[in-house]
Structure 1
């Protein structure tokens, strides 16, 4: 009998070591990792710069708590706000914590600056979104699997169809403090909205004095060919949540970045975290910022995007999948003749790690260090796995 809670159903692979885009299991078999920790491993496994930053910091200081300061906290905040063209950063640990922080800041901002009555604040969110699994976050979820059995739920959310800016506008009233969206819906299967969607939502938020909060925990930090996916739409959110790749695949690091007048409502005692902004996290986060400042990883995603899109198009033309969606180095595939689990297992037997999401959809997100030949290897395995 296992002593591990059964909240995951992993593939029968036990990883023992990894480097770059490849992992090796306990039996010595190598796999191309095309899940990449749900984009936490954008820079690959054990990137030497990130490992060196962590090792150096481990020899000096790992945790102070925020009861005192340390020499890396302000440099980390400056580096990430500079990278994202934002004003202020609030550090946390996990993506869900970053979303919760953004929600708290938005509500408090609404009460203090917009005259909304305490307890009445509402937030507009998108159908089929994924922002985490805390009780408050599942209260805005339309996914029965994530939501059922965990009530009572937190009120104050209005769910509208994703990709429909008119529906966002119709849901906003005098109680609305924010619109919370993913620029690309990752967990739902790499759902890409209409090209003008973010711009239109930005205009709606501007005209109604509503905050735009964009969850870039999966879509951000190079995955789609830009530092932030909102950059592709020439839009800047009022608050942006970051996570996953911010920790370089080494430890959990997350943050909310955005307007100083909004994050500034979180004064001493109103919000905090024991590990948020710890020295080890800041050391790794600074090294992540240095990698992204070169533009190399964003450029690689842009360069390989047409290769991935072309192979996905060929797959669709072959008739064994019903839809493909790609942006940068991110691909969602709806399977026609098998379950997503079956396809994942067949890909694993061919030396490629992928994972289903929502039954019949495969989500692929190889590390941004992947080569063109490795990308073809991934697509060859996928093509074989969906074929009879």
Structure 2
């Protein structure tokens, strides 16, 4: 029987271990780490796993389906690939690998403004089905041009980011020279030499760059100049006044990502946005904040009849996705899990990770006697 995945790596944790052996330490630390003392990074997953489901074994069961309708499209599973910056640093050509897998499996792929493939290339791969996440530029001209490119690429959903008003304090990245401005230290060079497959693929696909931003960047920037360009080009702090013109320009669906409170959800509804992604940026921004599952539960209970409520941050398995859906999310997104997969298994990593998550989630649904992912709340232990 073809399970769709390599049985040597039947869990995301197995992929994480393999990825750690396969990519340079500075790249793994960037992928794996949170901010400050990693408190919220670990709390995210732990508190999701405090959620319990109860099975209804004697209930009649007509089969379980993962299919989920969202914004007028029926996806094959209730999870997608979250936006991740600098994906090509962790594994060369990673965004293209993951976009191809997402399109093949009919799940959403969200492209970050600051990842290493362009809007146009990912649109080509996904036949115009990829979502796009916008880091808010300081200049209206640049904002408008990027939005027009996403529209021309037929992106169905624009995701605007609200949880990066300032860069998170990430000790690993600072030690490794990956703070802004980044630098390549002797230690990092030696790490690259110890990972020949990663180094070969980097040579094959080229040094990772911010491909979407290339048209706006002066040529031949050194690393310090690149850091200054990024700091001067983007203003992460969103306000109602910054969101209003985006809502006026964009005719498709708009989702606000990084929501952590009822107040911000109410603002999103007032501004006419179509969805929110409850998120704390994977524990990479505010170590003293809540885990994602707690505000999700409150927000879904109060506002799910007014706006689509989704979640990312902390999920590492099919059971985690089930717990999150049972807690009120209509859809879920995962970033690190897919990057572990592609870093561990290269071109096969996207298909593999999607397949194990589908298999795990399907097993949970059949175990508890849930036929439709929208009904997971009926199996929540309160």
TM-score (norm. length: structure 1): 0.35
Instruction: Please identify which structure carries the higher strand content.
Output: 1
Instruction: Please identify which structure carries the higher helix content.
Output: 2
